[in-house]
Every structure is written in C-alpha cells, then in structure tokens.
C-alpha cells in the first residue's frame, strides 16, 4: 500500500513538473529600468502560472515604448508593468498570433472571408480596428484565444475585466465584437481547428 502511495505521489510530481512554463528567453531591448522591471514581471508570471499551453515561442523582447507585436520576435512593451493581469493578457495575446501560424497564416483567404461574413463592417482604423482589413479580422481569432487563455489562467471574472478594459482602450470594435459574439466565434474557430 505504501509503495503504491509513493508511486502515485511520484507520478503527480512528474506530471506537475512536465506541465510547467518552459524556460523563456527574455531579453531587454535597451536595458532601461522599466524594461528590466517588465522582464522580471514576465519571469515572475511564468513561475506563478503554468504557461506551457500558452507559450508557442520562448523568444521574447521587452522594449519600452514599442507597440507589442508577435513577429518576427514576440515583443512586449512596458505598459502594464504595474498590472499583472494586463501584462499576462499581453503575453497571451501575442502568443495567440503564433497559434495561427503555420496552419492559418494571416493571408488565408478562407478564414479571413469567414471572419468578415461573421462580423461584417468592422471599423479598420486604429483604435477601433487594427489598421488594415486582414489584421483587424485576424484579431477576432487572436482576442478570442486571449480571452480563453486568460480564463484558464486567472479565472472568468478577472479575464472578463481585462477584456472590458481593453474594449475601451484599443482595438475597441474588435474587443467589443468578441465580447458580443463569443459563442459564434468559438464555433467558427472550432471548425477551423484553431485552439490552444
């Protein structure tokens, strides 16, 4: 009986170790104190939360004043250094772009057309949209992935607060559409095999 208990404990321990966040390769672009604080924040969040499922690239640059982006190297800015939930959302959002690659590249006309049929007439200009048609519509998928990931990591209530805050900050029409049409978007992404 004791050996079975030890074996079961060992299996749980090994499972927990294998589900942890992979080692991230985080670099500060300019070495400013704010970049270093953000780097430490991301490292702390990676230790606090199991980000394995939500980490598609381990190479990350922290650049103060940059617009966060996924390619060619995932780049986070320092905007949310004092808000862990928003910083975590930026991490998950940018990793969400990597979910669409290589199976659903941004120039995939079928997915883009279906997104446009599902949510017609989204404004394209920033801050309501993402600046162009392709990016605006692909952000519907990315933001849904962001929301789903945040729910797993910090729970539905805190995740929704982040989505509501972002709806009033940037990509306002895109966040609004995802908040209002989540069920339909989830069905569509499921058909396309888009998931974490």
Structure tokens given for 183: 């069920």
Spatial CA neighbour of 146 closest among 78, 92, 65: 92
123 or 8, higher pLDDT: 123
Q: Does the pLDDT at position 13 exceed 50?
A: no
Binned at pLDDT 50, 70 and 90, residue 19 comes out as low
pLDDT of the residue at 112: 87
Domain ranges of the chain: 21-99, 105-196
Binned at pLDDT 50, 70 and 90, residue 110 comes out as confident
> pLDDT, tens digit, for every residue of 145-164?
999 999 999 999 999 999 99
- Cβ contacts of residue 19 below 8 Å, gap of 6+? 50, 52
Pairwise CA distance, residues 4 & 130, whole Å: 55
Q: Cα torsion for 135, 139, 142, 148, to the nearest 10°?
A: 180
Binned at pLDDT 50, 70 and 90, residue 12 comes out as very low
Across 84-88, 134-138, 172-176, least confident range: 134-138
pLDDT of the residue at 52: 98
> pLDDT, tens digit, for every residue of 30-63?
999 999 999 999 999 999 999 999 999 999 999 9
Pairwise CA distance, residues 132 & 75, whole Å: 20
Binned at pLDDT 50, 70 and 90, residue 15 comes out as very low
Please state, in angstroms and as integers, the Cα–Cα distance from residue 127 to each residue in 29, 101, 108, following that order.
26, 25, 24
Mean pLDDT, residues 119-131: 98
Q: Does the pLDDT at position 9 exceed 60?
A: no
Q: Whole-prediction pTM value?
A: 0.89
Mean pLDDT, residues 63-86: 97
Pairwise CA distance, residues 35 & 62, whole Å: 6
Please state, in angstroms and as integers, the Cα–Cα distance from residue 41 to each residue in 2, 24, 77, 78, 80, following that order.
41, 12, 12, 10, 10
């Amino acid at each position: 009986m004791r050996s079975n208990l030890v074996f079961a404990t060992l299996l749980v321990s090994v499972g927990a170790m294998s589900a942890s966040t992979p080692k991230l390769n985080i670099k500060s672009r300019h070495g400013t104190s704010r970049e270093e604080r953000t780097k430490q924040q991301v490292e702390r969040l990676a230790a606090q939360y199991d980000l394995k499922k939500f980490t598609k690239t381990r190479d990350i640059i922290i650049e103060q004043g940059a617009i966060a982006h996924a390619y060619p190297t995932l780049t986070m800015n320092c905007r949310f250094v004092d808000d862990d939930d928003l910083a975590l959302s930026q991490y998950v959002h940018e990793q969400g772009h990597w979910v669409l690659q290589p199976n659903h590249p941004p120039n995939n006309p079928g997915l883009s057309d279906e997104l446009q049929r599902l949510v017609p007439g989204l404004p394209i200009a920033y801050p309501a949209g993402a600046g162009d048609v392709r990016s605006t519509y692909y952000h519907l998928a990315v933001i849904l992935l962001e929301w789903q990931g945040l729910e797993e990591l910090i729970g539905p209530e805190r995740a929704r607060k982040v989505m509501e805050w972002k709806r009033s900050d940037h990509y306002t029409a895109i966040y609004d559409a995802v908040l209002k049409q989540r069920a339909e978007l989830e069905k569509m992404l499921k058909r396309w095999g888009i998931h974490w």
